[in-house]
Amino acid sequence: MSDGVALFGGTFNPIHAGHLRAAEEVLKALKLRQIIFIPSAIPPHKSEAPLAPAEQRLAWIKKATAEYPCFSVNSLELEREGPSYTVDTLLAFQRKLAPERPIFLLGWDAFCHLGTWHKPEQVLELADLVVLTRPPCDVLSFEGNLPPLFSGRATLEDEGRLLRTTFDSEPKGRASGWVRLLPIQALEVSASEIRERLRKGGSVRYLLPDSIRRDVVESGFYSDANRDESSTQ
């Protein structure tokens, strides 16, 4: 579980200091060589309003991560039509990284609902997962906390912090991977809080990277004025 490549997907609406801090903690904890930020075009599980245009969110991510040599950005989900399904992204990266398996980052809430994703078994065949928890979430072990998807398909190791999984894989038979529980400190900031502050005309200093703060504020995508204008179109 080192020197690998991790995929960090999400709406990044907008990308903020908490995203960058979390990525840095994961990079160091797992001794990764690269983390790839992948913004979604049409998130299948989220209905965020307002949602800045995908190309604008992509531009902000590129600008916010530019000074970090181990961070990169990939736009493949913006180039596909339809919902941004994780399984399609992992299939693309499987071809790029083979024989190496990508690592996919997700939060605890997303992990708990993994069974509702599009083709969840194939997601687990294609990638190893790192499940991030941060305060106030105090889950320290998978024991007693596994979604039904893993019933009979996983064994616990490392005091419940590591899952060894086995799922059917075609055409090669059985594919095994792992799921790691990784508590992080990160920062107490969320995209929804930032959008609400911007809607009210509040300050987002220190919440957004300095490299994009002015761009985000002046874009007006999250202001009441822009929301009212959008609703009349």
Stretch 165-184: mean pLDDT = 74
137 pLDDT higher than 50: yes
54 pLDDT higher than 80: yes
For the chain, domains (ranges, CATH) are 5-188 (3.40.50.620)
Q: Are 222 and 204 in contact (CB under 8 A)?
A: no
Whole-angstrom Cα distance, residue 90 to residue 51?
24
Least trusted range by pLDDT, from 45-49, 129-133, 180-184: 45-49
pLDDT top residue among 64 and 1: 64
112 pLDDT higher than 70: yes
pLDDT tens-digit profile of 89-100? 999 999 999 889
Stretch 2-15: mean pLDDT = 92
67 pLDDT higher than 90: yes
Mean pLDDT over each residue of the chain, to the nearest integer: 89
Q: By C-alpha distance, which of 152, 147, 187 is closest to 166?
A: 152
Q: Are 41 and 54 in contact (CB under 8 A)?
A: yes
Whole-angstrom Cα distance, residue 35 to residue 132?
14
Q: Go through the chain and tell me how many residues it has.
A: 233
Q: Are 147 and 114 in contact (CB under 8 A)?
A: yes
What pLDDT is attached to residue 169? 54
Q: By C-alpha distance, which of 5, 13, 2, 8 is closest to 23?
A: 8
